[in-house]
Chain A
Amino acid sequence: MFANCSRQLINPALADAPSRRSARRLERLIWEMCEIDPKRIHVEWEAALPAPRPEQTAPNSTSLAASTHPTPTPHPTCLLPEAVELHSPPPRHPAIMTSIGTGYDLSNSVFSPDGRNFQVEYAVKAVENGGTAVGIRCKDGVVLALEKLITSKLLKPGANKRIASVDRNIGVVSSGLLPDGRHFVSRARDEAANWRSLYKGPIPTSALANRMGSYVQLYTLYSSVRPFGVTAIVGGWDSEAELPVDGQVGSGPKVGSGGKSEGDKKGGPFLYMIEPSGLYWGYYGAATGKGRQIAKSELEKLNLTEGSLSLEEGVKAAARIIYIAHDDNKDKEFELEMTWISSLSGPTKGRHEPVPKELQEEAEKLAKKALEGDDDDEEDEKMEE
């Protein structure tokens, strides 16, 4: 039962950790001095313990599928913020069924005889339940959009932002376990800061995607950790202009070593999606989360490979796709969060920012209209049949 006891405690978070800036160090120093000895932490309940839960014997492999699912009372804001079907019986997916009870799916970093790492596949399951996230690479920028399901009326509307910035020109949107998404972003920020301290400039989006792919992959290698329960979409605009080196105070050399090179074409919009396995691809349009299938088919209709979609059209398309991918029957309400990154000459001047309120409202209005239109079409088709 305690097959895990011999697990080595390996912590990828410490692997090649980027050196901190002394600002952070100073602050950290102050509280580290007061850090509590973990050995002194002992567990004590607030008051007398209630009667212990009736013990259950470990079920054997045959009865597992039916009996493995405890039914804790649902809390509106559980680990999965989105209204996930936490408490329904498991889907009888054939691939999953073969894994249960074999023992190969109980620990991370273990291959099954047919060469699969089940823990990574289960992590993907966590992603598949998250709100839909979409990224579109337009000709003059990138749009990121996210469907945030409203789990409680008590949430402060518009306050819980989830699309995060990395450096100034990159945005990350993720679907799956919220805290894992923040862990991902926090590492991405460390990588960007580390890049800056080495190269005195912003990290290219491709380099960030590469580093994050490696980081996520580390969490599939050890039994002492679990894989990330998120798929993250990373969108960025790499500056098309020659940027001054960080700390540059003069104009720098005009020619020769360290001088300027004229006429190079560089920078532009970039979009990547990183999966729990650490696998990542570059995309014209990316989608993940609950509604990814619908979103993907909608993205394909945009003919993004032509590279003609403008950023503003992209914003409207992203809003529409989130509205279409939203499942009205299962989840009642949602909030749409959208951010964008334009070229230096565009509306955000190469920075990652929230889409302005007016534009987002317009995009949502159009999205709702398109939805109504769709419904009409469907009805028409039925009529024809």
Chain B
Amino acid sequence: MNHLPQAWGRPRDDVYGAYDNSHFQTNGPTTHTQSPIVTGTSVVAAKFKDGVVIAADNLASYGSLARFTDVKRLRKFNSLSVVGFGGDVSDMQYLDRLLNSLDIRENYSSTDPENALNAKNLHTYLAKVMYKRRSDFNPLWNHLLIAGLDGEGKPFLASADLLGTTFSSPTLATGFGAHLAQPIMRRVIPDEAAVAGVSKEDAIKLVKESMKVLFYRDARSMDQYSIAVITKEGVELKENEKLENQSWEFAERIRGYGTQVN
């Protein structure tokens, strides 16, 4: 028996022949994340006259498996801003720790709300982080929505994705929501000018309706969700909401796949 530690746990040469070390060779290019692992689906958000509403469900999927059902994907940064995360959950956790350390540092220089980083500052920063990582070929596999108030206290909503792309609009949705929720929300808030006519209640109703449609049609979604409203009064975050007034009647009318034949 070979007592050298190198041989421990290896197939014995005398029985299986010499070990083929070529298996250990790595000749390929250095690679980083090629795909997300545990993922969160859509985040939806809409501006209204005094602030922003943002929502995301509490599911983290592992492929098609509904792996974790109490994952909170809206993170409050301070009294002026909330970040919603779509995409890889571990990258979201990394970003959450990054924002936590940023917040601690910010409080060192001043605890006054006037000097606090607002949602616009936060978006600029996060977009820089995302772009830096994609330029390192090591992206953070997320699509972020940053909701809150800007330097003038006006509603602010913008997105940053894994490539560092930024986009802003009175309504925004990531992932599946970009296809399914955006058209619904745009019908109510077509442009920036329309925001002034939207009340908080309207916006909440609109976002909840979008979450419901997403639950109907997105197979990686769930009916438990978080919703946050950011206004001058601060952040009102609820993390255990349940979709109400569901009606699956429409499912009966779906034809063309599954067990139906006609």
Interface string of A184-195 (1 = CB under 8 A from B): 000001001100
Which chain A residues in 11-62 approach chain B with CB under 8 Å? 21-24, 26
B49-71 interface (Cβ within 8 A of A): 60, 68, 70-71
CA distance A227 to B107 in the complex (A): 29
Q: Do A23 and B68 have beta carbons less than 8 Å apart?
A: no
Taken together as a complex, chains A and B put the C-alpha atoms of A247 and B89 apart, in Å, by 10
Beyond A23-B102, A165-B107, whether A247 also contacts B96 by CB under 8 A is yes
Contact A200 B97 (CB under 8 A): yes
| Complex Cα–Cα for A213 and B100 (A) | 26
Assembly CA distance A63 to B23 (angstroms):
80
Tell whether A167 is near chain B: CB-to-CB under 8 Å.
yes
B104 adjacent to A22 (CB under 8 Å)? no
A192 — which chain B residues lie within 8 A by C-beta?
Answer: 104
B92 to A: closest C-beta gap in Å: 7
Given A165-B108, A193-B104, A251-B70, residue A246 in contact with residue B132 (CB < 8 A): no
The reply to whether A26 and B129 contact each other, CB–CB distance below 8 Å, is yes
Q: Report whether B97 and A249 are in contact in the complex, using a CB–CB cutoff of 8 Å.
A: no
Inter-subunit contact A250/B100 (CB<8 Å): no
Chain B min CB distance to A253 (Å): 11
* A to B contact number (C-beta, < 8 Å): 58
Inter-subunit contact A26/B132 (CB<8 Å): yes
Q: Does B165 contact A (CB under 8 A)?
A: no
Q: Is the CB of B98 within 8 A of A23?
A: yes
Task: Determine the main DSSP class of B at the interface with A.
Answer: helix
CB contacts (< 8 Å) of B100 on chain A: these are 196, 246-247
Interface centre among A165, A246, A247 (most CB of B within 10 A): A247
In the assembled complex, the Cα of A251 lies from the Cα of B73 at a distance in Å of 13
Chain A residues near B128 (CB-CB < 8 A): 26
Determine if B72 is an interface residue (Cβ-Cβ < 8 Å). yes
Shortest beta-carbon distance, A201 to chain B, in Å? 11
Within the complex, the shortest CB–CB distance from B227 to chain A, in Å, comes to: 16
Taking CB atoms, residues of chain A closer than 8 Å to B129 are 22-23, 26
Chain A positions within 8 Å of B105 at CB level: 23-24, 189, 193
Residue B94, interface by CB 8 Å: yes
* A247 in contact with B94 (CB, 8 Å): yes
B window 105-131: CB within 8 A of A: 105, 107-108, 111, 125, 128-129
| Residue with the highest number of chain B CB atoms closer than 10 Å, among A26, A248, A250 | A250
* B222: min CB distance to chain A, Å: 13
6 A-B pairs besides A246-B97, A250-B72 with CB distance below 8 A are A189-B108, A196-B101, A197-B101, A200-B97, A249-B60, A249-B72
